[in-house]
Amino acid sequence: MMAVMHTPATLPTEVSDSCPDRVEAVGWGALEGLQTARPGLELDIAWCERRRFEAKLGQTLVSPGEAGRVNVVLGLGDAARLCAARLRQAAAAFAVSTGDAKTVALDLTGITDLGIGAEQAVEGAIEGFWGARYRYTRYHSGDPDPLESLTIVVATEEVPSAERGLERGRVIADATWLARDLSNEPAGALAPVQLAEVAVEIAGRKGLEATILDEAAIVEARLGGLLGVAAGSAQPPRLIKLVYEPSPAQARRRPDGTIPTVALVGKGITFDSGGLSLKTFEGMVTMKTDMSGAAAVIATLGACRALDVGVRVVGFAPTTENMPGGRAIKPGDVLKIRNGKTIEVLNTDCEGRLVLADGLSLAAEEDPDAIVDLATLTGACVVALGAKIAGLMGNDDRLVSAVQAASERAGEPTWRLPLPDAYRSDIDSDVADMKNMGKRGSAGALTAGLLLQEFVGDRPWAHLDIAGPSHSEENSGELRKGSTGFGVRTLLELLCAYEPLSSPAAGAAGGKVVS
């Protein structure tokens, strides 16, 4: 089983009301107009101008300080727009700029005077700093990160609330690192059986209930989509189910005393060759990350107890490889999904919606208040929105709006897309209830969403197509090249602030950008 790597929760981070004497690098914020956020400090305007430093968000100005210390001024941008998400970006820039420093301090004294609370400020800073310090080092000899300690400096009276922000930030950063580790792991080392073992290990440590369906149990459960995709692989499939139950003290109950359930479903294709509809070399290179949705769901469930989530959360991760073996499904085959509906498979590389159909069917049977799925589902969404923005769709305006607001707080950009009834006929099949692809080159992300909608019943449902932002081709801000862990923060924001919907789906949604 894959061993869990070091995480932000295991690395020394503390809150203090003073900067340690022996620290190699220290950073503090500056606002556009070259005013420092920290009281009592002034910038050398001439020096800033020579270095073309304007304190725009994400800019840094590095200069030598006393006793060999490095000073880093962080651009915070417009004071009126300062929030936890923007502070997250500034802290990420600080993490990159400190280089090989072993001991660093980030001075947030005075930040609360700009309208952001100490708890929110520190949480955002921790998430950004550790996001940028992430390294996938399992197959490197030695750890390239020399960091020994991080100190967050705040005013004395802010220490208690800052420490709460520190703990929340570490939990969320830890979950994001886990999702990145899982998706970065080579497919040869993390087949479905191994992913299920990791889920069980996490459940044991995090106070979750875990149920794993093996191949025989998957047959008995009538998960025809998962079985069909798995048929071409020598690796057996698994259905991972994790359940978080809130403590009685933390439970957020409805007026009738019941605790709402939120169901999460993540696509878990541990490697996607395309099946018989084989991908190109370029299209296959990053396909070990085609289980990023499942990784996000597993990591999110693992963080629920530490964050005192007040609702019941059930996570499903249908996981398999998609390979072109001798038993692989063929174009024209028909699969019967858990809820009884049938899908004609015209393109075996449109496999994610087949396994999600089973996962969503199972989720709907939990009688949930809401269902949210995440999937690296369509190249069409990448064409439409690029590599930094996820597509957001759903059948309930209230839920889609809640996910959208959570993504905004989390700093994970989403774009709200429609599910137009006029395109439903694009997935009509002559031989089954539907087919697994729409018109070639036309609204691919939307027709995929329309297919998924067939498996949620009347439950409020939101779908995140994370094909673009789940993977980064470069080091940029808090993102490192490789898996990004996209979706973990959004899901945790949604769950921590969740308000019960308490009624069936209420209208489709579409049209608004959040970033």
- Residues with catalytic roles: 279, 353
Long-range CB contact pairs, 364-368, < 8 A, 24+: 364/263, 364/339, 364/455, 364/456, 364/457, 364/459, 366/261, 366/263, 366/314, 367/261, 368/260, 368/261, 368/262, 368/263, 368/314, 368/459
Long-range CB contact pairs, 62-69, < 8 A, 24+: 62/97, 65/26, 68/24, 69/23, 69/24, 69/25, 69/26
Distances from the Cα of 46 to the Cα of 32, 172, 489, angstroms: 15, 40, 40
> Collapsing DSSP states into helix, strand and coil, what is residue 226?
helix
Alpha helix positions (H), 143-214: 159-184, 192-206
Distances from the Cα of 301 to the Cα of 200, 242, 310, 460, angstroms: 12, 7, 13, 20
E strands of 113-176, at which residues? 149-153
Helix axes 292-303, 192-206, angle to 10 degrees: 10
E strands of 341-494, at which residues? 342-344, 370-375, 390-394, 414-416, 434-435, 461-465, 471-472, 482-483
Distance between alpha carbon 125 and the CA centroid of its chain, in Å? 18
Rounded CA gap, 87 and 155, in Å? 17
Rounded CA gap, 471 and 480, in Å? 9
Q: In terms of Cα–Cα distance, which of 55, 50, 115 is closest to 80?
A: 115
- What dihedral angle (degrees, nearest 10) is formed by the CA atoms of 179, 184, 190, 191? 90
Judge contact between 452 and 396, C-beta under 8 A. Answer: no
Measured in degrees and rounded to the nearest 5, phi and psi for residue 131 equal -60, -40
Bridge partners, 210 (sequence order): 242
**DSSP output for 32-59:** TTTEESSTT----HHHHHHTT----TT-
Measured in degrees and rounded to the nearest 5, phi and psi for residue 292 equal -65, -30
> Collapsing DSSP states into helix, strand and coil, what is residue 374?
strand
